[in-house]
Structure 1
């Protein structure tokens, strides 16, 4: 055995403290962005059946939810609205007294330490459930940009710290950036859903946001899951148009895309750990098939290792509790 030559990598794995000393990737509570679904009405706190632990909340429960985030050390929230009324152009998305606009004002007043990200889309607000305006059965691009820009401006006026357009219309970053600048909000960054696939992992979200398409699907404007180079083209366009952050959505099935986007573009990268990824783990944990804490931390760490600087995740509260232990 004295002549056998090999390297002893296990030297750096011997103890917990040794492993911590050489750990390459770190997950922190500051990296997490918690999605919240705000609904009309009072005394509403409805658990989403397909997303255990995730609730739709009315404004009278919102501050309680935000205080919990602050106590856990989570610093950012992304706000989704579920309006009481819908129409063909998503009017409630861009009203001064829309549900998201009221929620943003309340959060900034009651928990000003939180960074508020506003999801900017029309799908929750249109009666057809698509992310843009529909004319003769087609989701039209340029007219949709007008309404999306108006939505972004009213969200900024309400106090949003970051605008996050998720609609995947061509030119949405350029239109929103120009609109914000002309309205006097040049300081508000755009967190673009730059790479958003037409994924099967979104189902539970549509239950929570009441945003399922009433006809067809979203494959004409969201990306084909088989495409890699298209993701780089999409991200490059958004960088050129003025995006400040880039989102890859979903995260877990697209870690390779995340790595390439991070390597190619020098902007903060956000992983969206989507609803289907959340619900699968919750279901498996409730059946005793997996250790929820271990698998959640492993999964979120894999996203950081793939290049994500921030993670939008429904596991934010759970992960913060695990990390704070």
Structure 2
């Protein structure tokens, strides 16, 4: 190797030999007239055609795979290398969030200790377009020895992985969207769609509900809308503004001011809800020219008013507010006795809106 002179700007580690010099950047030979739109449309068409070709292959094998996953007593362990691994991670996440306990294990790491994460009660879902990925094939004898159910998703039904599986899902494609037919494109799209089909089929078979889904997503807006109940955000106890029938309107206004909710409950002698009076009712009263010092609250209140129950979803209460164009609801128990007040601002602070 030929020594070269060190430049003032050259790092010490690079100056000794030619091999230490950085390589010149690759020069792309790109046409000035390349049609990006045509390229994108071709890619989308090829991937769409590959997905369409998947439809007639959804049959007895797919049903068997669903039954195996549905009857799995442990978790569904998804494995895959390279791009299949990326798709596998997405499939595992989708399964886990739709009622099928699942996680992803990198097959290379499985050969170096992570195989201990898999139990006899689990099911392995292995993804490999070729069906002969070395890191996965290496695991097959151990999977068989442990008696673990294996479901494969490959592009080659004659491959070692497909033949070792209890059932193989055919994810083959005629042509990758890559013009060189090399980069995993159509094949990964088909695998992803097939994984989604599995997850949704299992979701429907389990009778998985929107509330079940929310329990898997408690931190997001969806979880708040599907899990938060009126009793979690309503005002209770001393915070409740309330007056009796016969109270002067001016006295009711003082109670509204003290409690700061822009309304007051009118409580009947039997402890049940008689009516409500809000800021909107006050405006309507003033428009009629009534004297607030002479009028009693039961003369101007809204009789009973709209109510909700404590165990109702906060999102349902919000819909009632939207439908009736009101900002506050009285929360009542099974005997129509007020136990709380819910204001639209409470729903805003809780992130329901």
Q: Under a length normalisation based on structure 2, what TM-score does the superposition of the two structures give?
A: 0.26
Higher relative contact order (CA 8 A, sep 6+): 1
